[in-house]
Amino acid sequence: MVSKEQLKDIPLFEGLNQPELENIAKYLSVTEYAKGETIFDENTEGHKLYIIKAGRVCINKKINNAEEQNMSVLRDGEFFGELSLFDGKPHSASAVALKDTSIYMLTAEQFELLLAQDAASGYKLLHRICLGICRLLRQVDEKFIDMIKFVWEFGAKT
């Protein structure tokens, strides 16, 4: 069972008080992954939020249906899988443990129960997830603009 003490140092749970952490902890489970083990594959069903308790996870995306491109490396306290948690669509990328990794998981069903039974805690968690998504979107925007600048500069030189 997950305890509130285990959650207090995870950025996703910042701003939650002890009773809220205790309540959220009831809805989480822990799963262990060995180094090199696939957590999920791209285009597979997913209805879970994954939060790295300890370890490292590589997020990969298939390019041209064959080669995989490393999109990011996630560390302790970071989360992933949030898109599939909310929209129920297949994962847009794969996740692989880069070393032995322990992960907290929150299923869509458990998240719905949390929202129904403790709307305040559920809302705070949802807000923190949304802030994480906003951060990722801003990073993608910056990378996209950098790519456009590169293409313009490269095109101007040819």
Rounded mean pLDDT for each run of 10 residues along the chain, 158 residues in total? 86 91 94 97 93 96 82 94 90 96 96 93 92 88 86 73
At 5 the pLDDT is 87
Q: What is the pLDDT of residue 156?
A: 62
* Bridge partners, residue 60, by sequence: 70, 94
CA nearest 3: which of 29, 34, 40, 36?
Answer: 29
Q: What is the pTM of this model?
A: 0.87
Query: pLDDT value at position 91?
Result: 93
H/E segment holding residue 3:
none
* Of 23, 11, 4, nearest in space to 52 by CA: 11
Report the pLDDT value the prediction gives residue 150, as an integer from 0 to 100: 84
All domains of the chain in start order, with CATH: 4-157 (2.60.120.10)
| The pLDDT value given to residue 101 | 98
